[in-house]
Chains A and B, each alone.
Chain A
């Protein structure tokens, strides 16, 4: 299995530009999570989906952030307009929410965003 695949790995953009981050979860996983990691705040949950439906987006910092999951194998996190304080590493993770499993999160390698 290829694991969780994220793109792009690195993104440098200017303030005000739109940023789209992409994620392909592990096939068969029914939960998908978007996290943001910074030195100051650590790993923060932004939003998660179950069976492609957004369940909890209370971690999304502002209306500038939006996430979609049009099908079981693809999700996007969009920031529009981007600001320097959005600079962080954004992780996508997936898991299988079956009884009897540990619920282990499988993370992608992250998308490192720098907003100038």
Chain B
């Protein structure tokens, strides 16, 4: 079993819809949870960062962590065509992030 599972299936939504992405993980030592966004032909960039369980909101983006279920989610409200990208979850047991475990990524397409 991979440390981090993320269904890579492409997701197409109409503009304005809510996008829901999630990852599951097996390592209970993970405490730091991140979502990276990767535009086509670019490197990933950090979108959201959370520590331990709970919710974090930043504008239209909400990250949720449920450590008891080993499940994290990213929600994008009022999705825009500019949100079209691949979203990768990442997690680590240490703050140094020198052993980040990445999911495979979810490709999201927001249709105008």
Contact = CB atoms under 8 A, between A and B. Distances in A.
B97 A107 contact: no
A56 B45 CA distance: 23
Given A43-B88, A102-B49, A4 B98 contact: no
Interface in A26-47: 31, 33, 41-43, 45
A50 B94 CA distance: 15
Contacts of A107: 43-45
Interface bracket on B: 20 to 34
Nearest to B103: A42
Nearest to A33: B98
Contacts of A4: 43
B102 interface: yes
Contacts of A105: 36, 44, 46, 97, 100
A95 B44 contact: no
A62 interface: no
Nearest to B45: A107
Interface bracket on A: 20 to 34
A104 interface: yes
A22 to B, nearest CB: 15
A42 B102 contact: yes
B96 A103 contact: yes
A48 B98 contact: yes
Q: Which of B41, B43, B102, B105 has the most CB of A within 10 A?
A: B43
Interface in A8-63: 31, 33, 41-43, 45, 48, 50, 55-56
3 A-B pairs with least C-beta separation: A107-B43, A42-B104, A103-B97
Interface of B: 8, 32, 34, 36, 41-46, 49, 88, 92, 95-100, 102-105
Given A97-B96, A103-B96, A105-B46, 17 more contacts: A33-B98, A41-B104, A42-B104, A43-B44, A43-B102, A43-B104, A43-B105, A55-B98, A56-B98, A103-B92, A103-B95, A103-B98, A104-B97, A105-B97, A107-B45, A109-B41, A110-B43
